[in-house]
Amino acid sequence: MKVLERAHQQLMAEIEREISKAKSFKDSVFGLISCYLRFGLREKNLIKAIFLKIPKRDKEIKNFITEKRKEIERKFKEILLKKKILEKTNLNFFITSLLGIMDKLILEASFFGKRLDIKKSVFQILRILKI
């Protein structure tokens, strides 16, 4: 659990640094997505361990991961609400979809050895978001 907590704290600190440096809404979203993808690639062994080696019955770990995932979703919501991209009713679906896209990119890179060009991927995601 300590390893998971430390990894989550690092991710959130990196996101905060990127957001504090941002000069525009687009820069904030770019930094947010970049941090998430970089973190996922850097921590791919941890991600593999979570998905492959942790027993599905371990409720404590599952609950911890669910809680931390919700914190990440709240951070995305906080940033995206600044521009009111979508109505609030669609925002939860939108954020879940966005995280799903990024998780898929990370998993493909981690499990299948696909190369992920983070900058290119972020620009593609921004295009999808119309930012």
**pLDDT tens for each residue of 4-58:** 888 889 999 999 999 999 999 999 999 999 999 999 888 877 776 666 666 666 7
CB of 11 closer than 8 Å to CB of 72: yes
Count of CA atoms in the C-beta half-sphere (13 A) of 86: 15
**Domains (range + CATH), the chain:** 2-129 (1.10.357.10)
Taken as a whole, the chain contains a residue count of: 131
pTM given for the model = 0.84
Q: Return d(Cα 5, Cα 126) in angstroms, integer.
A: 29
- HSE toward the beta carbon, residue 107, CA cutoff 13 A: 10
Backbone angles phi, psi at 57, to 5 degrees: -80, -10
